[in-house]
Amino acid sequence: MVKERLALGMDKITEIIREANTDMPLDTYFRQVATFLEKTTRVYQKVNAGNYLERDVNELKEDNQSLYEDIRGENYESSFCNPDYARECLGEELASHLCFLAAEVRIAIPSAYEGQEEYLAIIYELFTLVYTLYRQGELTKKSLQQAIYWHASDYLDVFLADRLIAGATPESGIAFTVLKAYQKDDLRYLYGYGEYVGEEQLALATFINQLPEETITKMASVFTEGYRLGFVATGKDLSIKGTVSLRFVLGFERVIIKAIANFKEMGLKPVIQRAASSALLKQGMSKVGVYGGIVNKQFDYDHRFDQGLFFDKKYVQRKLEVMQTTFEHHGDLQRLLAGPAVIEVFGEEFTPLKKKESSLAYTKEQEELLQTYEMKAASIQNTYIPREERSFTIVAYPTPEIGPEFAEIFADVIKINTLDYQLYQKVQQSLIDALDTGEAVRIIGSGDNQTDLTVNLWKLKDPQRETIFENCVADVNIPVGEVFTSPVLAGTSGVLHVSQVYLNELQFENLKITLTDGMVTDYTCTNFDSESENRQYIKENILYNRETLPLGEFAIGTNTLAYAVARKYGIEDKFPILIAEKMGPHFALGDTCYSWSEEIPVYNPDGKEIVARDNACSLLRKEDVQKAYFNCHTDITIPYDEIGSLAVVRAEGEDVLLIKDGVFVYPGTEILNEPLMNKEV
């Protein structure tokens, strides 16, 4: 039945290309989108014939490039996937839905490479249905809305259920086919995923494939050992788990193959699935899974809220029902998941173009509904994969996009990721000992930095057995190091300001956030000419469309080597949050680091229990769990050179300075200043 549906769909695509042969805007639209789908058909047929990766590399490259050429570079300006162009050519009435459709049919690319015939049939049927409405003179905003809505709702039990199952099934999917085809001196394997392979991906893979074996071993060992230590540090039993979810970027296959061997020695089989491409499954701009080159970040940004076309109460209820049913039927598989192990990349900076009149956005009602969905979805997941039984690890490396000094930067990042955690553990304990004596911490910026913020701390009842801050080294969050706490919201007030910061793949300039009793009360930046655009940019990408968020974490990053390396190459604005948060005091908006597992005791290496695991928001879980969590956590770091002072405020006696004019001054922390003073770093 599926094969027949697919064959009919292919025939109809060919027919559309032949019929839509005028220069009328809608004919042009359908002809162009159908031509794209015809290309995916040809690739599917080649893959289905077998031995695809044995074809000539130039043919593989041509197939790959042809599927992405319409949204690459300047081509995006005349693509119907571009909301501005769609609106200009198709008119305001139909543009949003047809632009969505042009982007959504791109799920045919991974479907073609994975041989997912049902997925191809579904997407061809949606497109031909809309084309039929056009030919019959019935193409209206309402008919388009209905076609897209029922497509999204009807096929959740295919797309969502399949993704949840694949996300827990070991050693299945296209990635394992590619890893089996891996050859160090033959990059054809990169074209097996169906992800975009540009010059940057080829350069990254070539670079990693040429590294010494001992370097690959070190990279893989840091990755997998950090994962294991995450379980040890939190007292969780890794032996009850059986799988680990691996997430990485094309080019790291050599490291991943070594990491898989390490994980198997721990008793964990790898689960690998690609990042989602459908609006039914995506999480904004986030890439959760395996992915290739980012063809066009503006495309991703323009379509981050596509779900808004059909996101209503019925759809949410349907999505939660599919999720619940899938977990119920595959609970044993889900419970074996130990959590994700992630290799991130960084190098490209991006400030989006705002398209206020043509881009989709959630309504206020949808924003509230999305928050409800996220809370209920997290609750379902936690039922089958309890937070107290799972952990994670994450590490980041640069890509060639970072510039001509890529190789040198990569080598220095390896040093950053492999620092002596025992040394940092000892130094950080000195900071914690001082912090535990305080009522609060006050942070004041220097120069043009306008930060003046007081963070209220938990009050210890038994300082001999309790501590406020966690001594965090290189386990779940590689590299070392930081000390962090969940602040007391009441009394945490002031201004947080940073001149430039890169958050969630987006650049923010002069980001300023005002906090009152631990909650965001005002915010601005200088990315755009209009203040309303600046506020909307922050609301969408830091507050995640909420009116406010709490300060879930206050931390002091201690990785001065990372800071020195960033300054050496002038890449401070390109380091990801993962590394940047270790390069100065940082402040996370959203949930605490202990969300969903506050009841589980956590101890520092000195044996003291970390008691600051809750705040006034998370405590609401005892009354209504939907009011307790926000399902986000974004770290904002003030670099050392923008810090005038960071001091522990004591109830009695003088304040204790930890950082003064960008350097550590508390006894026992002097060694942290060495990278800052070393010009050879």
Ramachandran assignment for 167, one of left (phi > 0), alpha (psi -120 to 50 degrees), beta (any other): alpha
The pLDDT value given to residue 480? 87
Instruction: Give dist(CA 471, CA 26) in Å, integer.
Output: 60
Instruction: Say whether pLDDT at 661 is over 80.
Output: yes
Percentage of the chain modeled with pLDDT above 70: 99
DSSP of 196-213, one letter per residue? ---HHHHHHHHHHHTS-H
pLDDT band of residue 574 (cuts 50, 70, 90) is confident
Cα–Cα distance measured from residue 466 to residue 296, given in angstroms and rounded to the nearest whole number: 49
Model pTM above 0.85: yes
SS (H, E, C) 278-313: CCCCCECCECCCEECCCCCHHHHHHCCCHHHHCCCH
Per the listing, tokens 């969905």 go with 373
pLDDT digits 0-9 by tens, 346-361: 988 777 887 656 678 8
> At residue 679, does pLDDT exceed 60?
no
CA distance 437 to 442: 14
Does residue 418 sit in helix, strand or coil?
Answer: coil
Q: Which residue has the tokens 């809370």?
A: 375
Paired sense of beta strands 466-467 and 663-664, if any: unpaired
Is the Cα dihedral 551, 552, 558, 563 positive or negative?
negative
Strand 488-503, strand 506-516: pairing: antiparallel
Is residue 288 within 8 A of residue 339, CB to CB? The reply is no
Respond yes or no on whether the N-terminal peptide bond of residue 479 is cis (omega within 30° of 0).
yes
Q: CA dihedral in degrees (315, 317, 322, 328; nearest 10)?
A: 170
Cβ atoms of 227 and 247 within 8 Å: the answer is no
Report pLDDT for 350: 79
Tokens matching residue 593:
């680091």
Residue 680 banded pLDDT, cuts 50, 70, 90: low
Three-class DSSP category at 63: helix
Q: Residue 265: enclosing H or E segment and its boundaries?
A: helix 253-265
Mean pLDDT of the chain: 93
- State pLDDT tens for residues 488-498: 999 999 999 99
Cβ-Cβ contacts under 8 Å for 9 (sequence gap 6 or more): 120, 121, 124, 125, 128
Which H/E stretch holds residue 243?
A: strand 243-247
509/283: higher pLDDT: 509
The pLDDT score that the predictor gives to residue 348 is 81
579: number of Cβ within 10 Å:
28
Strands (E), 429-550: 440-445, 452-456, 466-467, 470-472, 482-485, 488-503, 506-516, 519-524
Question: What local confidence, expressed as pLDDT, does residue 357 receive?
Answer: 62
Beta bridge partners of 278: none
Angle in degrees, 0-180, between the axes of helices 92-104 and 83-90, rounded to the nearest 10:
130
The angle formed by the CA atoms of residues 416, 417 and 420, to the nearest 5 degrees, is 80
Q: Is 471 within 8 Å of 425 (Cβ atoms)?
A: yes
pLDDT(617) > 70: yes
Q: Other CB atoms closer than 10 Å to residue 624's CB: what's the count?
A: 9
- Of 70-84, 362-376, 445-459, 510-524, the least confident: 362-376
